[in-house]
Amino acid sequence: MAQPTEIEYVPAPRRPRQPRPAERPPGEARSGARASERRAELASFLRSRRERVSPEDVGMPPGPRRRTPGLRREEVAQLSGVGVTWYTWLEQGRPINASAQVLGAVARTLRLDVAECEHLFRLADVPQAAAAPDEPQEATRDLRVILDGLDPLPASLVNARSDVLAWNDAYAAMFPHVVNAPATERNSFWFMFTAPPEINPIVNLDEQAPEGVAVFRYRYSQHLGDPEWQDFVHRLCAASPLFARLWATHNVAPPRPCNKRFRFPEVGEIAARTTHLDVGALPGVRLVVYTPIDDASRDRLAELRARATAAGRLQG
């Protein structure tokens, strides 16, 4: 009888090892979780604000009976000038892009106040546009009292882009060309770089200009994509070769107090320290105060103010 042949054991080929999904770095995972939480909060916030606005509030007929209070999503989209699908996705917390202009339109439709509008922009992770020159009345009254109370120290209210919103008489005595400019052109940063030498009182412009541009870029980064900021930079680059050269360096610095020197034909040189104080009631607005560094500067500032008053250029 034939002997059975020995069967050689051949191991089965190994299946190729499937690569493991790449693990997300801990920081990226936390960032993704925060973004998801932020979008969920945005969705809840938008729904709550939409439900409190009635059709009558925005001039629309009430229409048939509604299952839920407030406006419908399609009504918000229509009033805001955006697509229904886009707004629906925004309110559902989906990861979509939103511009400052579109969010501003939604905020106006939902009748958001200043704090709610800020909250909306933060939740949407969109830089908010610069504060408009229009001043809330109650805050304006309080700040007007503070500005006048700071006199004889020159002081002004400016927004992030350095548009001058309000000032006291001492400031007007120092910077008459700024306060007398049209509201749309009343910007201290623009004046710094474009004023002819005969009316620009800044003595140490070579020191102040690099620092000023670096701080401006620091604020500019908080308003990326804002067309008003972009237009301002483009126009200033065209108007001032000095600004254009410094802007191209991409230097950046946080705001801080600094010493400035001014020269006036009537009284001579005034040395002052500028201090910037953020105004909580008006986001993006800051109070800028000029404090004379020495007694001679204080006396010259008083004389400059007295001369402006005598010439009828001031109210008081």
Domains, the chain, in order of start with CATH, read: 29-123 (1.10.260.40), 137-310 (3.30.450.180)
pLDDT (0 to 100) of residue 12: 52
**156-170 pLDDT per residue, tens:** 988 888 988 889 999
**166-198 pLDDT per residue, tens:** 899 999 999 999 998 887 788 999 999 999 988
Task: Assign 266 to helix, strand or coil.
Answer: coil
Task: Say whether pLDDT at 136 is over 60.
Answer: no
Task: Assign 157 to helix, strand or coil.
Answer: strand
**Amino acid sitting at position 208:** Q
Torsion over CA: 61, 65, 69, 71 (sign): negative
pLDDT (0 to 100) of residue 261: 94
Q: Quick one: angle between helices 73-80 and 84-91, nearest 10?
A: 120
d(CA 55, CA 50): 10
Q: Average the pLDDT over 98-111 and give the result.
A: 84
Q: Average the pLDDT over 281-300 and give the result.
A: 90
Q: What is the residue-wise DSSP string for 36-60?
A: HHHHHHHHHHHHHHHHT--GGGGT-
Task: Say whether pLDDT at 242 is over 90.
Answer: yes
Beta bridge partners of 223: none
Structure-block tokens of residue 12: 């089965």
pLDDT (0 to 100) of residue 102: 81
Task: Say whether pLDDT at 199 is over 60.
Answer: yes
Could you tell me whether strands 155-158 and 286-292 are parallel, antiparallel, or unpaired per DSSP bridges?
antiparallel
Task: Assign 262 to helix, strand or coil.
Answer: strand
Residues 6+ apart with CB under 8 A from 2: none
Residue 253: count other Cβ atoms within 10 Å of its Cβ. Answer: 14
Task: Say whether pLDDT at 131 is over 50.
Answer: no
d(CA 32, CA 92): 17
Query: Of 8-22, 48-62, 128-142, 206-220, where does the model show the most confidence?
Result: 206-220
Task: Say whether pLDDT at 290 is over 80.
Answer: yes
Q: Calculate what percentage of the chain has a pLDDT beyond 70.
A: 81
Number of residues that this document lists for the chain: 316
